[in-house]
Amino acid sequence: MNDKRVLKPSLRRFTMLSLTLALLISLLAACSGGNEQSAEKRVLRIGVLYGGSDNEPYFRQQYTDMFEMSHPNIEFEIVGAINYDDQRFEKPDPNKPNTQPDPYEKMKEMLNGQNPVDVVVLDYNMLLRLTQDNLLKQLDPLITQDKFDVSDYVPTVINGIKAAGDGNIYALTPTFSSSALYYNKKLFADKGISPPTDKMEWKEVLNLARQVADGEGQDRTFGFSFNRWTNDGYGQVQNYSSALQLKTWDDKGEKMLVNTDQWEDVWTTIASLYNDQVLPTQEFINKMYETQNEKGTYDPFYGDLFMKGKVAMTIGEYGYINELKKVQDNASKIKDFDIVDWDVVTVPVSPSDPEVGGSIYLSQLMGINAKAQNDKDAWEFIKFTNGRDWAKLKSRSLYEMVARKEFLKPIGGLQYNMDAFTSLKPLPPTSTDADKVYRENPNIWEAQQPAYELFQEVLKGTKSARDALAEWETKGNAVLERPKTNPSGEGDGTIDIMPMPKAD
């Protein structure tokens, strides 16, 4: 009897394992199409921006292992344009400037070298420059030739890719990250106010926030928060100015650009919303934690004001849905809190471009090097990782979204507006090389420091927004001038200002 008890579960596990392997083999055979051109061993070189001993195993696990199982004659080489292992163990030379490598120049070296990579993996900000410099092969002819279906790609992905390629496709990505505007349906219903809708402008959303905010003291309900983890007033300024793509300095890092009508509007708007407690204040957060500590209250929400029902609208990433579902699934264990009844719409947009939204990232774009030596296998690999079968397998992720709409289903059977995450294009790069100024002037961040203290004066009403911005411009320009007047870095050359706390 004891032997039978042991054998039965083992036999069941063996049977299930066999079935799983059979299904996987069938899937891989279907993906390969059974039409390998040759049994000859071939090398496919894949270039990524950051290489190293930690990055390569992860990339292989995520993208190449499954392809190798169905294509045993293909051997992958993963090449990093920048290898931080080399920099980590190299002793700094005090006689050499401590400058960071130019990612784009390193990528070009990898594409144009004597042994160029075949496939290049890049993020969205680099796609525009690579296409403008004719370093990528256009994929449209290959898509047409092989009848590779891209009609099911979500607009966020395919339209974003085409926007960076002058209407053409130079890369494809199997996954993307996106955010949306989450809102508390009950708070709007209780006030008799219509909730937000897709593609609302920023001004409309902030005006809506004023209408729905209500209550006093610790019973206050706020209208809006730029993210789940509330920060101070100046942190809200940084979030808002970034969403509007306002620049702090010019592309060369030589002149401050903050003394403008647009910046004045941002500072005035946020100061007013913060002082009127439409946005959560630091004072409220501090008092909330103080009260919880005094009462010994357990907080399962870890200070998340939207989950607590204290914020009517907030911007959150796709994975936030999983957190909200956990709360719903454990509702019976949570006392003294109402579980939030929520939905989502697109993040607020700018009136100048209502089809574009912030917090959308295409970070695993795959293109073919214009000088690829093995462009045929490169295209087969891109087709495989961007195909339906791969998307079906990866669609189980709770935090990353697959690019094919067919497999984008609400998490856990919930009902919400999935289009909120898939209809807007990502923000275009502010310049073709936005990071260049940081590499050439690593101390440029000091030009931002005066802003924190100056904004506190605006909040207190002791200084107007325009006067504060004019002062920031003057102090910031002094920092930007320093490399010209004191290129060796000797002497004082500093501005006596308070450090700016980091935003949460």
DSSP notation for 329-367: HTGGG--S-PPP-EEEEPPPBBTTBTTEESS-B---EEE
Is 314 a member of any domain? yes
pTM of the model: 0.85
**Is the same domain home to 199 and 333?**
yes
**Is the same domain home to 339 and 380?**
no
- Which pLDDT value is given to residue 437? 81
Instruction: List the domain range (segments joined by +) for residue 202.
Output: 179-230+279-356
- Which pLDDT value is given to residue 258? 97
Characterise 72 by phi-psi region: left (phi > 0), alpha (psi -120 to 50), beta (else).
alpha
In the three-class reduction of DSSP (H, G, I as helix; E, B as strand; rest coil), residue 145 is classed as helix
Distances (CA, A) of 46 to 36, 122, 274, 378, 386: 20, 11, 49, 9, 16
Which residue type, as a one-letter code, is found at position 200?
Answer: M
In the three-class reduction of DSSP (H, G, I as helix; E, B as strand; rest coil), residue 317 is classed as strand
**Is the same domain home to 399 and 422?**
yes
**Over residues 373-387, mean pLDDT:** 97
Is 250 a member of any domain? no
User: Which pLDDT tens digit goes with each residue over 141-193?
Assistant: 999 999 999 999 999 999 999 999 999 999 999 999 999 999 999 999 999 99
Domain end marker among 356, 387, 407:
356
Reported as type and span, the H/E element at residue 248 is: none
**Is the same domain home to 340 and 195?**
yes
**Is the same domain home to 163 and 98?**
yes
Domain count, the chain: 2
User: Which pLDDT tens digit goes with each residue over 47-96?
Assistant: 999 887 788 888 999 899 989 998 999 999 999 998 877 766 776 666 66
